[in-house]
A = this chain, B = another copy of it.
Amino acid sequence: MAEICVLRLGHRTLRDQRITTHVFLVARALGATEGVLSGDLDESVVKGIARVSEVWGGPFKVRYEANWRKFVRERKKDGWKVAHLTMYGEDFEPAAKKLGKGNGKCIVIIGAGKVPREAYELADANLSVTTQPHSEVAALALFLDRCFSGKELGKKFSGKLQIVPNACGKVVLHGESD
């Protein structure tokens, strides 16, 4: 299984809090292994995601990295690939599928504000999910979906809370955490 680290670049506490939180919730729910926050040090995002994993299960965590360039360079030395999701990039589908088949390790960079030129250059691939403006949350979801061939949708989490799918109501089991 591919190992995916989602790096949120240039986070701005006031402006991006909800979108960044959605980025990491999607990362967790759809099979990424870890999240890294850069930009503003926003404890509420880090703690919020930790709380979700505590309640809903799984080991997914977000940590803060002030120096994302150093972080990316060190991971590259350890054999990690880097994909940067940008609306200006090349079609993401072949790259995401190849990554999934190869069981590789990959940092997926998701920019918040204007992304520094260096991110484009450090990336092994700059990848676009359609060439239209939409949402980094959706772009990440589709990237992970193609990488994990849709199997991420059935991923099991043994959390304190578990939802039992229901046609018209809300059924939540309260059990033990993993």
Taking beta carbons and an 8 Å cutoff, which residues of A are in contact with B?
A: 15, 18-19, 22, 25-26, 28-30, 52, 56, 87-91, 93, 120-121, 123, 125-126, 128-135, 137-138, 140-142, 145, 152-153, 155, 157, 162-172
**Residue numbers in B under 8 Å from A28 (CB-CB):** 132, 134
Residues of B within 8 A of A88 (CB): 163, 165-166, 169-172
Pick the contact of A169: B15, B120, B162 (CB < 8 A). Answer: B120
A50 CB to nearest chain B CB (Å):
13
Known contacts being A22-B134, A120-B169, A153-B93, is A163 close to B29, with CB within 8 Å? no
Closest to A18 in B: B19
Write the chain B residue with the least CB distance to A152. B130
Q: Is A167 a contact partner of B89 (Cβ separation < 8 A)?
A: yes
Which of A19, A22, A93 has the most B CB atoms < 10 Å from its CB?
A22
Chain B residues within 8 Å of A153, by CB: 93, 129-130, 142
Which chain B residues border A171 with CB–CB below 8 Å? Answer: 88
